[in-house]
Structure 1
Amino acid sequence: MRKSFYEYLMTERNPNSHDEIAEFANNAFFDQSFPKHTDNFDEISKYLEENAGYLPSLTIFDDAWQKYLAYLN
């Protein structure tokens, strides 16, 4: 079974890092409503646009998504 985006994102967590993706992962960890079980780009993107005030730019999500796709392959 393929890992969800959230499962991948949690591998990027690092509370001591100022890397944008690590900060995204750290904040997503504390987001109780984050769609944890999906690998659907549009579903996650829509959620982030509407609910993730902690994400300063969706470009960070796009970069994390590209790393996720590379991770899957």
Structure 2
Amino acid sequence: MNQESFYRYLMTQRNPNSADEIEQFANNAFLDSAFPKQSTDFEEISQYLEESADYLPSMTIFDAAWRRYLDAMN
């Protein structure tokens, strides 16, 4: 299965004029040059965000975005 990376999916959620948490996460991830852009692995992305992404105020935002990603891939 050729699955789209989480980052690629997340970029479809960008909206610079929105207060939506997932859209803000997407905006910030776009500016993060070290984001694991090719990954489809929850653990890898989760670990990266926990250790390196000071722009994500809560991991529950990532969890919600991941659920949307999985829904979009199915």
- Cross-structure match for 2:59: 58
**Gap regions ≥5 residues in structure 1:** none
What CA deviation, in whole Å up to 9, does each residue of 1:11-51 have, x standing for no partner? 00000110000000000000000000010000000000000
What CA deviation, in whole Å up to 9, does each residue of 1:43-73 have, x standing for no partner? 0000000000000000000000000000001
**Aligned-pair RMSD on alpha carbons?**
0.4
**Gap regions ≥5 residues in structure 2:** none
Q: Which runs of 4+ in 1 moved over 6 A?
A: none
- Cross-structure match for 2:3: 2
Q: Calculate the TM-score normalised by the size of structure 1.
A: 0.99
**2 CA distance for matches of 1:63 and 1:2?**
19
- Cross-structure match for 1:17: 18
Offset, 1:2: 1.1
Q: Calculate the TM-score normalised by the size of structure 2.
A: 0.97
Match of 1:51, as an amino acid?
A: S
